[in-house]
Amino acid sequence: MIVQNLEAQTPFQTKDSSTIRSLLDRTNAPVRNQSLAEARVPRGAATEPHFHRLSEEFYFVLEGSGVMTVDGETREVGPGDAILIPPGARHSIRAVSALRFLCCCAPAYAHEDTYLEGC
C-alpha cells in the first residue's frame, strides 16, 4: 500500500505558473496511468493559457473562487465544483480569491505535455 501525505510533498511550479504538490504520480509512487496533485493559485493571479495533447484533466475546487476558461467558455467556479478539461482543450484559471484545488490527470501529468498558448 502506498500512502502519501500532502504536507510531506515539496511544492513546485508548473509551466502554466501554478504551484502544485504531487500527491501520487510517477515521481513518488508506482503510478502508471494517472496523477493526483494539489494546486494553488494566489488571489488575483492566473495560470498561463495552455493545453495538454495527451492528458485529460479534472480540477476539483477545495477553497477559494475563480474564473475557469476552457476552449473559450468561461465560468465562475468555487468549492465543490469539478471541472472537466479534455485533451487538447486550451484552458486557464484565474483566482478571484486564493484558490486551492485538486488536479487529476490521465495519463499522468508531465511537463512535456504542457503547451503554452504561444508555442
Q: What is the dihedral of CA 52, 14, 59, 115, to 10 degrees?
A: -20
Q: What CATH homologous superfamily does 11-116 map to?
A: Jelly Rolls (2.60.120.10)
Q: Say whether 113 sits in a helix, a strand or coil.
A: helix
Q: Using one digit for the tens of pLDDT, what is the confidence trace for 60-96?
A: 999 999 999 999 999 999 999 999 999 999 999 999 9
> DSSP state, 53?
S
Q: What is the pTM of this model?
A: 0.92
pLDDT, average across residues 30-51: 95
Q: DSSP states of 8-41 as a string? A: GSPPEE-TTS-EEEEEESTTTS--SS-EEEEEEE
Q: Is the peptide bond before 79 cis (omega within 30 degrees of 0)?
A: no
Tell me the CA end-to-end span of the chain in Å, nearest whole number. 40
Mean pLDDT for all residues in the chain: 93
Q: Which has more confidence, 28 or 119?
A: 28
For the chain, the structural domain boundaries read 11-116
The answer, yes or no, to whether residue 119 has pLDDT greater than 70, is no
